[in-house]
Structure 1
Amino acid sequence: MEQNLLSNFEQSLKTLTKPSLKPLSIARSLIVNPSTTDQTISSIIQTLSTNPNFHLHHITTLLSEISVARPHLSPTVTAALRSLSLTRPDIPPRAAALSTLVSSPPASDPETTEGLFLSLCFGASVPVRHRLLLDAEKFDVRPSVLLTVLLGFTKDPYPYVRKGALDGLIGLCNRVVIGDGGVIEGCYLRGVELLSDSEECVRCSAVRMVSEWGKLLVANNDDESRRDLSDALYVQLCSMVRDMSMNVRVEAFNALGKAETASQYLLMQTLSKRVLEENKISGQLSGKHFRLQALSVAGAFLHGLEDEFYEKKS
């Protein structure tokens, strides 16, 4: 029976003049059957990865099913997918097809999977790059490599790729223990830099990144500088409460609500739009962590109340 189905599969391909689902349905019936031999499955993988009449989405769907049903064949599936990504870059639905792969990535050798991830990330397709960054944690990529890739793509020319990279860094901060102060500081400052991005979606993610990495930066320092860094983080977040985008302002107030500590002077200043006193903030706030004047804090809480009143009135 198995050989008959395989013969029908191959015969239907020989007589195929236009795209058809018939050979794909035959292939799937063999794939889902647990009694089908590995030799037959390997033949199907080879045929799927080399036949130009198949839609890429259908190919990757079937290859993904093979990877789930037969994990020991995952290296073969990974090699086929990598070959497809390099030889068929002109096919528009690559991103949709890739989503099938990402939903259940091949459980193969970590180096092979990491290589596939990197080769697709640095390919020409922007949708594929965006999709990979969104689902980066599903691949077996070393945190150090993933951190480098995500930091690099925060400078991508496409805003949704920058946003995806920022969201990936936020997730990485919450999943991985990072003890290198220089790395933490660099990620925090990259988030601060993107607070002034021209795109709303990027600024929203930048606010969340500054909040998460800022808290990690504060926790990673000694008690002597921790207060200054906490105040610096608080001021950075306050600077976003006057953003032109309501979504960014909401993110800023959500982040301020999660802020752990701030000096009494800053908290009091948020209640008044007039600068209460010429208070010179010392320590690390006068350095590169603090690029804004304390004036940024003035009336921050009142601006939030005005926003809420306006929304309810509308």
Structure 2
Amino acid sequence: IVRHVVLKLIWLLGNTYPENEILLPGSEHEIRLIDDAFGKICNGVTDLSMQVRTLASKLLGGMKLVSPKFLNQTLDKKLMSNMRRKRTAHELAWENVTSGEWASGKKWADDAPRELLDAESISLMSSGACGAFVHGLEDEFLEVRSAAVESLCQLSISNPQFANMALDFLVDMFNDEIEDVRLKAIDSLRMISEHIILRDDQ
């Protein structure tokens, strides 16, 4: 319930004051409030709770003022700076469980930061945007997948470039095991048809 309310509050603040700039934590770099809010809601797509993931996926569709560089990252699981795949909360939790320890103490600075990142990559990492829609579309629960398809469609309607990036992902959803999700994907393509051209292999 708490995370539900927090996500809605973040969405409201981001959409009400989109152009306000805030400082990134631990940095001197500023970021638009809508972009920061978008990234925080993207983090909700990998939450352990299905209800939170569903809500986060739904809210993303109503954030049409987000910057293209953040929006485009939602369809890519790898960071732009170094092409490292972003791990989900499930994967991080499992890694901690299986490793059995945080820092072994056997190696010098084995728990030190792995690398230095530039300012832009930091903002992208902080945003949590990397692969958000990919995670949503691959979720085990139909509610999350359905919400992700809807939001992908809503953002594509007002953004031709993003619509073309989303095309392959929406076509892939034609193979979903649930009929309602398949129909939603088909209807989404109809709604963004003015921005896209289907290839023969699609």
Q: Do they superpose with TM above 0.5?
A: no
Q: TM-score normalised to the size of structure 2?
A: 0.44
Q: TM-score normalised to the size of structure 1?
A: 0.30
Structure with greater helix percent = 1
- Which has the greater radius of gyration? 1
**Structure with the larger RCO, 1 or 2 (CA within 8 Å, 6+ apart):** 2
